[in-house]
Amino acid sequence: MEPISPSLNFRRLLQNLAMPLALLAICVFFATRESAFLGPRNLTQLIVEFSITGTLALGMFMILLTGQIDLSVGSGVGLVGGIAAVLVFQHAWPAPAALGLAFVAALVLWTLMGTLIVGQRIPSFIITLGGLLIFKGLFWLVIGNSTVPVARGDQDNLYSLLTTYYLPRPVGFALAAAVLAVAALLAWRGRQARLQHGLPVAPLPRLLLQGGFAAAAVLGLVEICNRFRGVPLPLVILAATAGGVWFLTRHTPFGRYLYAIGGNEEAAALSGIAVSRVLVGAYALMGIAVALTGFMTTAYSGSSTTTVGDLMELDAIAACVIGGTALRGGRGTVGGVIFGALIMTALLNGMTLLAVSPEAKFIARGAVLTLAVWMDVKLRR
């Protein structure tokens, strides 16, 4: 077995440290410019924004794994949130019924879009670009080109509570402990399974150290939230979504098929994988992510207006690529997507806190997306 070259070791080290160092640099920069950046109130707000971006990015992750793309999700976020808002606040529908109908609408729309892409063999870029325009037009028609307020102070309204409800302190810590216990159990079972099959595993001290860091991070996050009002509900939604996507992509045949199709679609088809069915399934799951994000985004904005969802597709793609997901498919992890979403959210939150002009925000988002794609290309060589 040939020894690993120093250049390859350096590249792996760079890949492992790039995101933590980037996040650290962003936090240090904004913290030195504005002390409120690290305050409990702003950090809790950042967590809500991160949860929204992260949920959408996880849906995009499954699309990118197959080598496809979806440019319509930003408009879809506005449309789905707008449908629910109009039903609740203009037609007096019960919030659960309105949210349920909008959820089903998103699921049907994205399933149909995936079926069209697969059945007609049209590039996903073209179909979803058309979807971007269609959904934007439908969104404006649904809300009548006006602003539909979301009554955030209405404690009986499930819609407004999506981003205004915070878990009590004991519940937050109990939920964190449960998540850590499940993660530890899964990690241990995975290690034992690899040992039984004679596969290499990481040294136990390293796993314990990683687990300790993870536990400290989770409990520290809960404590920060509790210093304001508690763990926000969007973070729970993101955690559940991330756990579901992680399990789906790592422990089910469907997840392995996503990677296989992205790696080589022709080889996947020859090996017996139902490529068309898997692709349609990926787009259906994207619809679920769009629905959840649409509800949270509209509730967080306080109203459904024509700007809701603007450019969110680019933030989702950037979060995935920053986190190591390949645009050509076949490579990526849930953890990387979460980290990428955190970097994007910290950047946007910090610029908002410093009252950076909208044009500068556009430039920064474009620069980050370009840099992420450039890094993806360089690291694949």
Q: How confident is the model at residue 1 (pLDDT cuts 50, 70, 90)?
A: very low
Within a domain: 19? no
108 and 143: one domain? yes
Q: Which domain holds residue 183?
A: 169-229
CA distance 219 to 215: 6
Predicted confidence (pLDDT) per residue in 341-357, tens digit: 999 999 999 999 988 88
Mind listing the pLDDT tens digit for each residue in 228-272? 889 999 999 999 999 999 999 988 999 999 999 999 999 999 999
**208 and 311 in a common domain:** no
pLDDT, the chain, mean: 89
Could you give the 3-state DSSP secondary structure of residue 303?
strand
Lowest mean pLDDT among 77-81, 96-100, 181-185, 295-299: 181-185
Mean pLDDT of 202-228: 87
pLDDT tens digits, 200-210:
887 888 888 88
Residue 63 pLDDT > 90: yes
User: Residue 65 domain-assigned?
Assistant: yes
Given the structure tokens 């629905």, which residue do they identify? 291
146 and 278 in a single domain? The answer is: yes
Cβ–Cβ < 8 Å for 40, 228: yes
pLDDT band at 2 (very low <50, low <70, confident <90, very high): very low
CA dihedral of 219, 222, 226, 232, whole degrees rounded to 10: -170
pLDDT in tens, 31-60: 999 888 988 899 999 999 999 999 999 999
Which has the closest alpha carbon to 324: 376, 271, 272, 255? 376
User: What's the CA gap between 256 and 160, in Å, rounded?
Assistant: 37
pLDDT at 380: 60
d(Cα 43, Cα 37) in Å, to the nearest integer? 7
**286: CB partners within 8 A, 6+ apart:** 59, 60, 62, 63, 70, 73, 110, 114
- Residue among 298, 245, 222 at smallest CA distance from 55: 245
Residues 155 and 129 in one domain: yes
CA neighbor of 235 nearest in space, from 36, 58, 22, 46: 46
User: Tens digit of pLDDT for each residue in 117-142?
Assistant: 999 899 999 999 999 999 999 999 99
The answer to whether the beta carbons of residues 99 and 83 sit under 8 Å apart is: no
Do 190 and 225 have their domain in common? yes
- State whether 179 and 150 are in the same domain: no
* pLDDT, tens digit, 9 for 90 and up, residues 134-183: 999 999 999 999 999 887 554 447 888 888 899 999 999 999 999 899 88
Split into its structural domains, the chain has a count of 2
| Cβ atoms of 47 and 232 closer than 8 Å | yes
Q: Does pLDDT of 18 surpass 80?
A: no
- pLDDT > 60? residue 216: yes
Rounded CA gap, 131 and 66, in Å? 19
